């Protein structure tokens, strides 16, 4: 037997040898924040119409009810639960973002590891380690195929194409795959990697992460049962890297494994919409607050943004909530007129609010090629000609200006109380923050069930 080498093998070895005790304190902490944030988002999304539709469609096919559908007082088999929970985690696009990798990594990995934790006993520390490693692999993989933005970072859903592998790595570690099995699991997941950006603005936006989570989890169980894949899923000829990128950079996959951590760069969204809109919301909310602006007195809003912001969110009149998530006009209008940018501001009622509809037409968005994705320059002209200006360089929730633990807590509570009530929310938040000490991570799910 010759030793198996290459990126796929190196990743498998790294994932298996790295335990919770091996994670640097800062990595544990950011993994924990990622986990806390995404569980809150999952509770918050649990009753969304898209999840209702999915459950109507899939319940008739579900297996024995061993796994919790978060926030729904229902159970199904682990694969179905993984799909539904991951869908809920991202349906409001309120989740998390690794900005450089253009990916929302936590949801699919969470869906997979929680499902495993109801099939076998998994300690909180082990779950958190697997979860953090899954995020690490997904982000590295995305960077490996997105180094050349013009060649695909917009075309593919990076979350869709990369997170199945992350979920497979995390689940595979928990269910005890050996190195070969983990290579196979990641290969099976890579062969089902999918997601196209055209789906933005529809329920499918959240179905791509959901599919990633479920296919990754299934890949791990398939590999456990002896199902095989090619050994070099990432680096092989016609492998993942060459298929998804014209200029793959495999070094992002393996350089500095164990010393450099992409998981540290995960960030959390303060507003439930496309992250490139966030600096604009910051600017609008600040101007509203500082000048007590009356929306009816606004004649025009001009905003300069990074090119990627317009590429993704230049949608002036969204037809519904899902299109609204990627409409910079809707969120600027809501922030200026209402002084808020929460889930209600993205709901169908707000999308159709005649005041906001009219306001959207007063906004002009342009590109500033030198603007970073977490910045914007905004100018508001009032009737009578007074001009108010605000520059944002690192919006709230960016890497440089991250949400605090307290802000994450407020965000969690805001979403969760409406679904499972305050007592369960308080308990669940405490258990999430303290997951490291849980002997059995499934305890979380009993609370999260609602």
Residue 391: Cβ within 10 Å count: 14
Q: Which residues of 199-230 are buried (b: 16+ CB within 10 A; e: fewer)?
A: bbbebbbbbbbbbbbbbbbbbbbbbbeeeebb
Under rule CB under 8 A, residue 117 binds a second copy: no
**Which of 171, 287 has the CB closer to a second copy?**
171
Q: Contact region for a second copy (CB under 8 A) — 31-39, 202-210, 342-350, 431-439?
A: 202-210
Q: Which of 61, 260, 291, 366 binds a second copy (CB under 8 A)?
A: 61
Establish if 240 lies at the interface with a second copy (CB under 8 A). yes
Joined tokens for residue 279: 């600096």
Residue of 60, 354, 369, 384 interacting with a second copy (CB under 8 A):
60
- Closer residue to a second copy (CB): 58 or 418: 58
CB closer to a second copy out of 70 and 193: 193
What is d(CA 27, CA 307) in angstroms, rounded to the nearest whole number? 31
CB of residue 283 vs a second copy: minimum separation in angstroms? Answer: 27
Q: Please report where in the chains the tokens 């707000």 appear, as a residue.
A: 350
User: Binding a second copy by CB under 8 A: which of 140, 218, 269, 278?
Assistant: 218
For residues 162 and 193, the answer to whether their CB atoms sit within 8 Å is: yes
Count CA within 13 A, CB hemisphere, residue 322: 16
Instruction: Supply the minimum distance, in Å, between the C-beta of residue 192 and a second copy.
Output: 5
The answer to the question of residue 157 lying near a second copy (CB under 8 A) is yes
Name the one residue in this structure whose structure tokens are 């609370």: 447
Give the integer Cα–Cα distance in Å for 296 and 336: 10
| Backbone φ, ψ for residue 257 (5° rounding) | -55, 125
Question: Which stretch, 20-28, 142-150, 220-228, 247-255, contacts a second copy (CB under 8 A)?
Answer: 220-228
- Coil/strand/helix, residue 97: strand
d(CA 79, CA 118): 11
Q: Give yes or no for residue 156 binding a second copy (CB under 8 A).
A: yes
Within 70-109, which residues bind a second copy (CB under 8 A)? 77-80
Query: What is d(CA 404, CA 446) in angstroms, rounded to the nearest whole number?
Result: 27
* Selected binder of a second copy within 236, 352, 372, 409 (CB under 8 A): 236
The residues of the shown chain that bind a second copy, judged by CB under 8 A, are 49-50, 53-54, 56-58, 60-64, 77-80, 154-157, 160, 184, 187-188, 190-204, 207-208, 211, 215, 218, 221-222, 224-230, 232-233, 236-240, 242-243, 322
């Amino acid at each position: 037997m010759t030793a198996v080498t290459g990126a796929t093998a190196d990743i498998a070895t790294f994932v298996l040898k790295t335990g919770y005790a091996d994670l640097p304190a800062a990595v544990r902490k950011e993994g924990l924040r990622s986990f806390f944030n995404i569980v809150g988002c999952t509770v918050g999304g649990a009753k969304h119409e898209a999840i209702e539709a999915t459950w109507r469609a899939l319940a008739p096919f579900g297996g024995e009810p061993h796994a919790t559908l978060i926030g729904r007082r229902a159970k199904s088999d682990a694969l179905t639960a993984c799909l539904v929970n991951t869908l809920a985690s991202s349906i409001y696009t309120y989740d998390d973002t690794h900005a450089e990798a253009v990916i929302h990594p936590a949801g699919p990995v969470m869906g997979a590891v929680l499902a495993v934790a109801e099939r076998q006993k998994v300690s909180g520390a082990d779950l958190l380690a697997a979860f953090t490693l899954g995020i690490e692999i997904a982000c590295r993989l995305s960077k490996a195929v997105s180094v050349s933005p013009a060649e695909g970072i917009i075309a593919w859903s990076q979350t869709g194409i990369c997170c199945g592998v992350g979920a497979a790595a995390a689940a595979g570690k928990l269910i005890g795959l050996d190195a070969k099995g983990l290579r196979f699991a990641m290969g099976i997941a890579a062969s089902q990697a999918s997601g196209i950006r055209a789906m933005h603005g529809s329920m499918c936006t959240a179905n791509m992460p959901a599919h990633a989570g479920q296919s990754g989890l299934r890949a791990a169980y398939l590999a456990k049962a002896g199902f095989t894949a090619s050994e070099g899923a990432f680096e092989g000829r016609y492998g993942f890297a060459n298929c998804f990128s014209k200029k793959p950079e495999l070094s992002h996959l393996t350089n500095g494994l164990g010393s450099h951590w992409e998981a540290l760069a995960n960030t959390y969204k303060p507003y439930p919409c496309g992250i490139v809109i966030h600096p604009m919301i910051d600017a609008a909310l600040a101007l509203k607050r500082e000048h007590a602006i009356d929306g009816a007195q606004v004649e025009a809003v001009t905003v300069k943004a990074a090119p990627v912001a317009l590429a993704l969110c230049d949608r002036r009149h969204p037809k519904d909530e899902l299109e609204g998530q990627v409409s910079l006009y809707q969120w600027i209008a809501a922030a200026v007129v209402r002084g808020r940018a929460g889930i209600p501001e993205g709901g169908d009622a707000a999308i159709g609010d005649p005041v906001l509809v009219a306001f959207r037409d007063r906004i002009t968005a342009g590109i500033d090629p030198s603007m970073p994705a977490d910045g914007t320059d905004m100018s508001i002209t009032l009737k009578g000609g007074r001009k108010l200006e605000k520059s944002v360089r690192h919006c709230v929730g960016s890497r440089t200006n991250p949400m605090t633990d307290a802000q994450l807590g407020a965000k969690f509570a805001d979403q969760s109380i409406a679904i499972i009530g305050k007592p369960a929310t308080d308990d669940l938040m405490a258990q999430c923050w303290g997951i490291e000490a849980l002997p059995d991570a499934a305890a979380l799910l009993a609370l999260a069930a609602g």
